[in-house]
Structure 1
Amino acid sequence: MDLPLITLVCASILTFFILKLLYNQTQNSTNLPPGPRPFPIIGNILELGRNPHIALTKLSKIYGPIMTLKLGTITTIVISSPQLAKQVLQEHGQIFSSRTIPHSAQVSDNHKISIGWLPTNAKWRKLRKVCATKVFSPQVLDSTKVLRQQKLKELLDFVKEKSSKGEPLDLGEAIFSTVLNSISNTFFSMDLSHSTSDEKSREFKSIIEGSMEDAGKPNIADFFPILRPIDPQGVHARMTNYFVKLANIVDGIIEERMCSIASRADSKVSNDVLDSILSEIEETSSQLSHREIMLLFLDLFVAGIDTTSSTVEWAMAELLRNPNKLAKAKEELCEVVGEDAPLEESHISKLPYLQAVVKETFRLHPPAPFLLPHKCDEVVNISGFQVPKDAQVFVNVWAMGRDPTIWENPNMFEPERFLKCEINFKGNNFELIPFGAGKRICPGLPLAHRSVHLMVAFLLHNFEWKLADGLTPENMNMVEHFGLTLKKMQPLRVQAISVKDN
């Protein structure tokens, strides 16, 4: 066969496959959910802007509650209604139970043993069982509540000192440090910050906020995986640095405790989560490895601190912005708890308006606006559209919280709306799923539920609050800073006035 003929045959075969590929793409695209027309190569990347949760909410009003975006080489489906979220997270929960794994999560191959990124395999089920029985069970959380109460007492002392000096404080910073020590005591019976606003606390805050920001921001290496080896935005390098710093701390704590148990040099029982897990391993010969324990604590630690502290800060900001709501919450606390009685976790169930305040905060300011990304494991029909295999799926809970077809006056902070209905945020009511729902619901929800309610109630019960620096409720800056969690862009600076001498 001569060269011209070979060339003609090869060209014909190549042309056939190109035409077939184009035909298949056309056929598939007609069944995809609608969405903005993608640009060549980059697709819809430019549509994301600096605040993707807001940009995609605006686009959903044009293209509907199920929408397709082409982000570089990645097909992304955006869900923006409770009905479709229920189909994805519950009715087809197994098909959508996997994750698309961003480059930022692939530090040291952590995604292969991380409860947040693993598929729902045997290893994942083992870690979920540990969370349910040894980390976040009612018995474990009840046994560590004294530790959390002590951290609140330290916050009280810090704020009272500021109040007595007439000094304003950064409330978000004080909340972060308290949550940091509260969770570190629940897990490890120790403080990781030695005062409510010391340098070590600020360093932890910087590391955790930096890691959550990098984990959530659009990354060109995710849109074009071929670029991952060169890490063009430096996200992977920064995440590696964050991970090494935090892992060294957590690994050191675990190693010290394991050595203590092995040598029997210290017979003291800490009665914390770490003891609970290590005892389980010793008693049952569990196959949980040292690295799995370390990464599990690291995942839960970082996520728990960031989401809890940001939610409490948003709740306080909304209450200070709405003084009449703040007054109602304080009045309820006075009636239920009393002016001089100490606040306990057991009071939470008797405070319906406080619970409504927390629900309203989660509605307006969900910690993770898209949850963690899901991945479609097989072609499936959702609302008459075809979701292709391996598509990335975002559930825009921020959009659902601001949807006027679901909520009356959706941009207003109105806790009263939750006094008229039985909606909760535990994954049963898809109008409000800040922790997700179905198989991948956040395992830390039980601790977050206790911590957020208790800290908001504690701050309201012990102090009168006013905005510092001449700020008024009308001109408060409520702009969000986008990341894996939504932060308040401007720090919440306040002046506290103590209402009791305990």
Structure 2
Amino acid sequence: MDPITLSQLLCFVIFAWLCNLWPNLRLSRTRKLKLPPGPYPYPIIGNILQITKNPHKTLTKLSKIYGPILSLKLVNIYVVVVSSPEIAKEMLVKHDHALSIRPVPVAAQAHGHDKISVAFLPVGSQWRKLRKICREQMFSTPRLDASRRLRTEKLHQLRDCVLECCLAGRAVDIEKAAFVTALNLMSTTLFSVDFAGYDSSSGQELKEIVQGVVKSISAPNLADYFPILELIDPQGIKKRADFCVGKLLGIFDSIMDERLKSREKGCPRKNDLLEALLDLSQGDEYNLSYDEIKHLLLDLFLGGTDTTSNMVDWVMTELLLNPIKLSKLKAELRSFWTGDEKIVEESDISRLPYLQAVIKEVFRYHPPAPFLIPHKVEFDIEVDGYTIPKDAEVIVNAWGIGRDPIVWSNPDSFEPERFLDSEIETRGQDFVLIPFGSGRRICPGFPLAQRMIHIMVGTLVRNFDWEVEELDTTEKFGLSLRRVVPLKAFPIVRTY
């Protein structure tokens, strides 16, 4: 959490109190309910000062004291934290309908994104329409299989980039290389163009813009707790979100305008998602507006680049920290092919059990979103004997579940072997491992993310040995857990 001095916080609290405008949680009603236990809240500010800069670790420690379902009051927001797979399943399966809406942070309202975004829209006709488009036009197995050649081409580019660094004796910034690969995959899939080169400044600029959106949405924002502060935007978070979202929407606008002019001139059609979405917008079935197209593209773009590159970075970090595990993965990958082809194909993943086990272990150890994406309770529900009141926010502590000794043996050790001969999958049905969520609000892009992470890691490990001078695993909390110091490693080509 970004540091906020006590004096600043108190000034904002006093200002909001004098204005008497922040919403009331109806404490008189909730006091009569049997609520989950939790630490005693301070007047007005609640438990906000008890949340450290590493809330995933703080809430995991609190769950050891108060149990697998606990409650916090963060100023005017009532938060329920779930830290066990059993209660997570009850919440996301039995009460899926009640938890089908999302809380909307102020930053997500940039350019009206929350009113069009498939990530923040409430479940309804518009949300179902957009989810159906994602499912049928982007992430269905036939669609993904049809675009497999494209991803293979991007893997060749990644391998060539790393080889060039190897020959020049330069270290590779793993996350940056993975980000450019994922970025170009998404931009080519969506628009038939590469957005960045591995050595160009455009890749770094777009990375900063994408991460600017993600950081703004996940940053602790006083305006989310004191609505009177929305107009003031004291931390500048909404302003930063407006700028970053505006930059991306501007890029999409220019691409769409060019494509529409091309269609009017009768130019050859592109085989990409934008072409399919423009066709849908001109038909009667979906009634898809241009604004919906732009914000859907924004959702796909954000979800398909930052998280994927961050996970590849963590996988390579853990493998370099655990050379025996790295050697086992190398042996599997290098014994799999008898010819000269050294690119890991998506069709190979099912026949590489140790690679799958490594990825699952990193999902457990460093989940892409430590708290998933929060849910909001639409009406009172009862869970494990407690009442979860309407409008409460529900957080599933995926990081805490992944480190729970009751669920996992040796939870603080990196042991991919635990997933060999295991039937645990990451599709949202096994609640001990739900990196992409579960239920109707499961991440729609997880089939593509799964493929991308496996083939990128497989290609980096299959084609190169790696040396690193120093590894810093310090985390920085956000919507995803990032490394504070980027992983830079020297690739070495081996002959086999």
- When the two structures are superposed, what TM-score results if normalisation uses the length of structure 2? 0.92
Take 2:495 and 2:275, find their aligned partners in 1: how far apart are those partners?
Answer: 37
Query: What aligned pairs does 1:89-108 form with structure 2 within 5 A after superposition?
Result: 89-108=92-111
- 3-state DSSP class of the match of 1:68? strand
Matched, 1:313 2:313: yes
CA contact (8 A) 2:364 2:399 kept: yes
Cα distance in 2 for residues equivalent to 1:360 and 1:407: 11
Kept in 1: contact 2:184–2:194 (CA 8 A):
yes
CA-to-aligned-CA distance 1:6-49 (integer Å, 9 cap, x gap): xxxxxxxxxxxxxxx77544313xx1100000001100111211
Q: Which amino acid in structure 1 is aligned with residue 490 of structure 2?
A: Q
The match for 1:202 among 197, 201, 204 is 204
* Distance in 1 of aligned mates of 2:36 and 2:164: 57
Q: What SS does structure 2 have at the residue aligned with 1:316?
A: helix
Instruction: Give the Cα–Cα distance (whole angstroms) in 2 for the partners of residues 490 and 22 of structure 1.
Output: 43
What corresponds to 1:26 in structure 2? 31
Work out the percentage of aligned pairs sharing the same amino acid: 47
Match of 1:62 among 62, 65, 87: 65
> Which residue does the alignment assign to 1:6?
none
**Structure 1 residue identity aligned to 2:78:** T
CA separation in 2, counterparts of 1:347 and 1:251? 38
- Map of 1:13 onto structure 2: none
Q: Which amino acid aligns with 1:150?
A: E
Deviations 1:407-434 (A, max 9, x none): 1111111110001310011001011111
Q: Secondary structure at the match of 2:335?
A: helix
Aligned counterparts of 2:87 and 2:207: Cα–Cα separation in 1: 36
Give CA-to-partner distance per residue, 1:453-501, whole Å, 9 cap, x none.
110001111111111xx32xxxx22111111111111110101012369
CA contact (8 A) 1:463 1:496 kept: yes
Give 1:489's match in structure 2, choosing from 471, 484, 487: 484
Q: Which has the greater radius of gyration?
A: 1
1:75, distance to aligned residue in structure 2 (A): 0.5
Q: Equivalent residue for 1:260?
A: 262
Alpha-carbon distance, 1:251 to partner: 2.1
State the SS of the aligned residue for 1:99: coil
Paired with 1:299 and 1:25, the residues of 2 have a C-alpha distance of 36
Aligned CA-pair RMSD? 1.5
More deviation, 82-91/219-228: 219-228
Partner of 1:50: 53
Asked if structure 1 preserves the Cα contact closer than 8 Å seen for 2:158 and 2:181, the reply is: yes
- Correspondence for 1:7: none
Aligned partners of 1:456 and 1:200: how far apart in 2? 24
Tell me the amino acid that sits aligned with residue 464 of structure 1: D
Query: Gaps (5+ residues) in structure 2?
Result: 1-25
1:438: which partner in 2?
439
* 3-state SS of paired residue (1:175): helix
Give the Å deviation of 1:162: 1.1
In the alignment, what sits opposite 1:448?
449
Q: Which deviates further from its counterpart, 62-71 or 252-261? A: 252-261
Alignment of 1:330-369 (within 5 A): 330-338=330-338, 340-343=340-343, 344-369=345-370
Q: Which residue of 122, 128, 133 maps to 1:130?
A: 133
Question: In structure 1, the residue corresponding to 2:216 is in which secondary structure?
Answer: helix
Per mean C-alpha deviation after superposition, the further-off stretch among 488-497 and 331-340 is 331-340
Higher mean alpha-carbon deviation, 92-101 vs 52-61, is at 52-61
Q: 1:200 to 1:260 in 2, by over 3 A?
A: same
8 A Cα contact 2:179 2:305, kept in partner: yes
Q: Which stretch of structure 1 is more off in the superposition, 117-126 or 196-205? A: 196-205
Distance of 2:178 and 2:27 partners within structure 1:
55
Q: Displacement, 1:371?
A: 1.2
Contact kept in structure 2, 1:72 and 1:223, CA below 8 Å: yes
Query: Deviation at 1:285?
Result: 5.1
Flag the 1:58–1:297 CA change in 2: closer, same or farther, 3 A: same
Is residue 462–residue 500 contact of structure 1 (8 Å, CA) maintained in 2?
no
The alpha-carbon distance between structure 1 residues 462 and 181, as it changes in their structure 2 partners (threshold 3 A), is same
8 Å contact kept, 1:376–1:388: yes
1:278 Cα deviation from its structure 2 partner: 2.5
Task: Name stretches of at least 5 consecutive residues in structure 1 with no aligned partner.
Answer: 1-20
- 1:418 alignment counterpart: 419
Q: Distance in 1 between matches of 2:373 and 2:421?
A: 30
Cα deviation, residue 338, structure 1: 3.6
Q: Is the 8 Å Cα contact of residues 376 and 389 (structure 1) preserved in structure 2?
A: yes
SS at match of 2:37: coil
Q: Whole-Å Cα distance in 2 between the matches of residues 140 and 500 of structure 1? A: 36
**How far apart in 2 are the matches of 1:419 and 1:446?**
21
Who is 2:224 aligned against?
222
Alignment deviations for residues 142-166 of structure 1 (CA, whole Å, 9 cap, x no partner): 2222222222111211111111122
Q: What SS does structure 2 have at the residue aligned with 1:130? A: helix
Measure the CA separation in 2 of the matches of 1:338 and 1:466.
26
The Cα offsets for residues 160-204 of structure 1, whole Å up to 9 and x where unpaired, read as 1111122222122111111111121122211110x2132111111
2:296 is aligned to 296
The 5 A counterparts of 1:384-399 are: 384-399=385-400
Mapping of residues 159-198 of structure 1, within 5 Å: 159-193=162-196, 195-198=197-200
Q: CA separation in 2, counterparts of 1:336 and 1:228?
A: 56
SS in structure 2 at match of 1:229 = coil
Distance in 2, matches of 1:121 and 1:430, equals 26
Counterpart-to-counterpart distance in 2, 1:24 and 1:128: 36
1:423 aligned partner, one-letter code: I
Q: Say whether the 8 Å CA contact 1:332–1:353 is kept in structure 2.
A: yes
Paired amino acid for 1:369 = P
Asked whether the 8 Å contact 1:173–1:197 carries over to 2, the reply is no
CA distance in 2, matches of 1:455, 1:321: 19
CA distance in 2, matches of 1:153, 1:22: 59
In structure 2, relative to structure 1, the CA distance for the partners of 1:296 and 1:22 (3 Å cut) is closer
> For the residues of structure 1 that align with 2:204 and 2:402, how far apart are their CA atoms?
31
CA distance in 1, matches of 2:315, 2:81: 27
Cα distance in 1 between the residues matched to 2:136 and 2:109:
28
The secondary structure found in structure 2 opposite 1:78 is strand
TM-aligned CA deviation for residue 315 of structure 1: 0.4
Distance in 2 between residues matched to 1:50 and 1:383, nearest whole Å: 29
Task: Quote the residue 1:248 is aligned against.
Answer: 250
Partner SS state of residue 407, structure 2: coil
The AA in structure 1 aligned to 2:122 is P
Q: Secondary structure at the match of 2:46?
A: coil
**Counterpart-to-counterpart distance in 2, 1:277 and 1:348:** 30
Query: Cα offset for 1:445?
Result: 0.6
Distance (whole Å) between structure 2 residues aligned to residue 273 and residue 144 of structure 1: 11
| 1:250–1:294 CA contact under 8 A, matched in 2 | yes
Aligned to 2:214: 212
